[in-house]
Amino acid sequence: MTDQQARGIRDAARDGAAERGLAAGESGSRILGPDASVAAFPLGGIGTGNVSIGARGELRDWEISNHPDKGTWLPFTFFAVRAEPTGGDAVVRMLESRLQAPHEGDSGHHIGKVGGLPRLQSSRFRGEYPIATVDFDDDRLPVRVRLTAFTPLVPLDADDSGIPAAVFRYTITNPTDDAVRVNLAAAMSNPVAITGHNVFQFPEYAGMPTVEFRDDGRIRGLAFGTDLEPDDVRYGTATLTTTDEVTATPCWPVDFWQDGIQLFWDAFTATGRLEPSPVFSLDGGDVARLPKLRTGSISVENELGPGETRDIEFVLAWHTPNRPKAWNGMVGLPNTHADDIVQNQYATRYADAWAAACDVTTRLPELEAATRAFHDALYDSTLPMEVVDAVTSTLVAARSTTCFRIADGTGEGRFAAWEGSFDHAGSCEGTCTHVWNYAQTLAALFPSLERNARRNEFLNETLPDGRMRFRTNSVFDAEPLEFHPAVDGQMGTVVRLYREWRFSGDDDFLRELWPAAKRAVDFAFTAWDSNGDGVLDSQQHNTYDIEFYGENSLANSMFIAALAAAARMAEHLGDSEAAERYGCAADTASELVDRMLYNGEYYDQRLDDVDAHRYQYGTGCLCDQLLGQTLAHLVGLGHILPAGHVKSAVRSIHRHNFRRGFDDYASVQRTYALNDEAGLVLCTWPNGGRPRIPFVYSDEVWTGIEYQVSTNLIYEGFIDEGLEIVRATRARHDGIRRNPWNEAECGNHYARSMASWGVLLALTGAQWDAPAGRLSVAPVDAVFCDGDASIPFTTGTGWGVVELDDDGARLRVLGGHLTAHAVEVTHPRLGRLTASDVALTAADAIPLTITTTPLENSK
């Protein structure tokens, strides 16, 4: 089969996905009109913060200053086009489609938004993270304009996926029979060291902002700075550059009124070219009283012949190196060193924004190829489009303000994260173990960051008695907060240690962390098993931010999974005593938990009086009752409770907790699904027994839980049910109701939403077992389109796609390298296909055909 044929299959598969009833709002390819007013597609890398692009093609949500800041915008910052056909009149437009209602504002649309300048008639936004494209539409404009915007994303490379920059490529096509002179202008204000906004809604600055024009021979454009000291927490630089020749107004005239934008617009309208210095003699004035806002602009000129297409590319880069050396969060971790600073990891790589812009510009072909390969591996896959949509859209959380990397002198840095990002502050500090339990995306795409987190959790946060602090303050060398340990967080972190070791095959890593891991496991017996029967039953703090009492399915499914994982790790390290002990304990717990908590349909909580303590669930059908089982499936541990009961239980979760409408629902908790929306409720009481005051999130709908349940449903064979949940989740995020690229829980870009990658793993059956050197995939039928499938995979060192058709399977490494003793593909019709001792590199991404070895269909 030729490459072209393969592409044809993928295209057909894609069309197939569309045929399978995915409406625009539900499909993986997010096509949005200008009315998708809450859509905001974040650009920016891991630990860099973001600038987002809205559905109209506008820049929004400037969050580049080491804290979340939804809704912020930068005055006088936009792109504009001027197109003048030979012998015709020039048409001048801002490169956004028209502003949509409401047009509220206590002074109308703000001057800085230049709402009165003409926009393009319409736009069509296609968001396929990490790549956004916007097709603009205006029958008055003599050229067609498409914007492509992205920040490089290279799987397995957290550094190249963490560049503080974004590419804006405007593709101009002249469909006419005449030449058209096209000028593209970019205007931008200084985004660095903004401290707030004055009563006129103009930014206020620490220090004095600056802007100048710079040209280093390769790139040229606007360079923004400040007179703050480099160790000031607000210090930073930013750039807007291009490789094209430009005319520029390096700094607009500064006055109380909007003279700068008037002169810019008039000049650009007249000729498309900008004057190097103000041509209008400005009055003097009290400079100290004038706004500090500093704005500059550049313009690129091209002559496009009939039918010609040309790209004009801008790179926006920023460099705000310093963070406070403290969470400054609201959970209560002491801010021991809040007056000191730490540096972002990217600052060890780039001296300033100009250096980042240079790097992106110089290496763009390579970086873009990797980014597109990753994009294509997902968007050209045969995976259900809602799943592609879910995994890519939630991957944003890893590159949002939720996550960051602190330089520590090692070159690796320290990975740290909030649970999520409130609109203007981080939400719940400390890389919370019980929330991050659910996330699978980083482990699959940037596993070094997860290993980094495990090192911190076991080496710095696990006490001599085995108690693990579930929120880290040691990433800032700061005093801990004394609080209950979290049973689910602590047990899950053991499973995740197993996951990270198994994915990396790094025995040194495991050996270093193992003593603490053992203490953490043993702690469960002493702290949470009051009667010594091997089932947890004491006061158990957990991810619902309350204490469960008595034997319950959440804690114990996690406990069993941790024991099973610990037994495997112990065995590998030759710690046979521990291996034996944990293995037996797992068996005992499994048997007892099944006996105590299985109610004939699902697993619940054993309590004599469900109201003796507030915030329990008792007889409820809890979405997370099998969280330990989901995690066990994901790391290849198989069933940890009787398979039949697991199957019944996970099915009952879908049956009882998935709602197809919320009109008659009554919840007094936070609201994530309502009216005609569908979603999975955290707990229901199909048999009665609802506590007077159940746990405080019981009636909520969390996307992270939806994905973990979907994952488990798919592992247990309930594919339709699993995908129905994913479709519901994504349908709620349609750009009109909610932002497609932001699944919020307690904060935007909530870490738990990255449970989505588990759905992909369940559908593809992909497992990478580095110690065994075995890559296996076993896609479910739903992944096939007309008999063919193309599915992505990652390992600790390389990634690519596996393609299956009626004749066999192929493995293509698209990035990194893959050395494996065995590759096993379970083909639903052909059985097991294997290859042995492969050693592949991405090189030029040539497809590799696996030797087909038809075996007995052991399925």
Near a second copy in 313-332, by CB under 8 A: 330
Q: Where are the beta strands (DSSP E) in 559-649?
A: 621-622
| Residues 278, 223: Cα–Cα separation, whole Å | 18
Task: Give the residue with the Cβ less far from a second copy, 75 or 628.
Answer: 75
In angstroms, what is the minimal distance from the CB of 140 to a second copy?
Answer: 8
* Interface with a second copy in residues 104-133 (CB under 8 A): 104-111, 113-118, 121
- Tell me which residues in 710-739 interact with a second copy (CB under 8 A): 732, 736-739
Output the smallest distance, CB 682 to a second copy, in A.
Answer: 12
Instruction: Name which of residues 241 to 260 contact a second copy (CB under 8 A).
Output: 257-259
The answer to the question of residue 425 lying near a second copy (CB under 8 A) is yes
Hey, is 716 helix, strand or coil? coil
Q: For a second copy, which residue of 286, 692, 843, 859 counts as binding (CB under 8 A)?
A: 692
- Choosing from 81, 166, 261, 561, the residue that interacts with a second copy (CB under 8 A) is 261
* Binding flag, residue 699, a second copy (CB under 8 A): yes
User: Which residues have C-beta within 8 Å of that of residue 390, sequence separation ≥ 6?
Assistant: 707, 726, 729, 730, 756, 759
Rounded to whole angstroms, the Cα distance separating 346 from 353 reads 10
Among 300-308, 446-454, 670-678, 787-795, the segment contacting a second copy (CB under 8 A): 670-678
The total of other beta-carbon atoms located within 10 Å of residue 750's CB is 28
For residue 728, the SS3 value is: helix
Residue 338 binding a second copy, by CB under 8 A: no
Binding residues for a second copy restricted to 381-400, rule: CB under 8 A: none
User: How many Å apart are CA 579 and CA 570, to the nearest integer?
Assistant: 5
CB of 404 to a second copy, least distance (A): 18
On whether the CB atoms of residues 83 and 268 are closer than 8 A, the answer is no
- Which C-beta is closer to a second copy: that of 348 or that of 667? 667
Query: Binders of a second copy among 778-837, rule CB under 8 A?
Result: none
| DSSP per-residue codes, 251-283 | S----SSSHHHHHHHHHHHHHS---SS--S---
Pick 212 or 266: Cβ nearer a second copy: 266
Query: In the range 48-77, which residues lie near a second copy by CB under 8 A?
Result: 70
Pick 204 or 806: Cβ nearer a second copy: 204
- Is 667 a binding residue for a second copy by CB under 8 A? The answer is yes
Phi, psi torsion values for 415, nearest 5 degrees: -85, 135
**Which CB sits closer to a second copy, 244 or 745?**
745
User: Is 661 among the residues that bind a second copy (CB under 8 A)?
Assistant: no
* Binding residue (CB under 8 A) for a second copy from 73, 509, 525, 615: 615
List, as one string, the DSSP characters of 477-492. T-PPPP---BHHHHHH
CA distance 819 to 15: 34
189 binds a second copy per the rule CB under 8 A: no
Closest distance of CB 537 from a second copy, Å: 20
Task: Please identify which residue in 101, 287, 288, 839 interacts with a second copy, judged by CB under 8 A.
Answer: 101
At 517 the three-state DSSP class reads helix
- Residue 38: CB minimum distance to a second copy, A: 4
CB of 97 or CB of 794, closer to a second copy = 97
3-state secondary structure of 170: strand
The first and second tokens of residue 798, run together, are 């390389």
Instruction: Please count the residues of this chain forming the interface with a second copy, following the rule CB under 8 A.
Output: 78
If one asks whether residue 747 binds a second copy (CB under 8 A), the answer comes out as yes
Q: Which of 50, 427, 616, 729 binds a second copy (CB under 8 A)?
A: 427
Among 387, 381, 385, 439, CA closest to 792: 381
DSSP state of 55: T
Q: Does 664 bind a second copy (CB under 8 A)?
A: yes
| Beta-sheet strands, E only, within 156-308 | 165-173, 180-189, 194-197, 203-205, 209-215, 220-226, 237-242, 246-249, 295-304
By the rule CB under 8 A, 663 interacts with a second copy: yes
User: Among 12, 696, 780, 822, which residue interacts with a second copy (rule: CB under 8 A)?
Assistant: 696
Question: Contacting a second copy (CB under 8 A), which of 178, 215, 266, 465?
Answer: 266
C-alpha separations of 821 from 769, 794, 836 in Å: 10, 16, 5
- Closer to a second copy by CB, 85 or 155: give it: 85
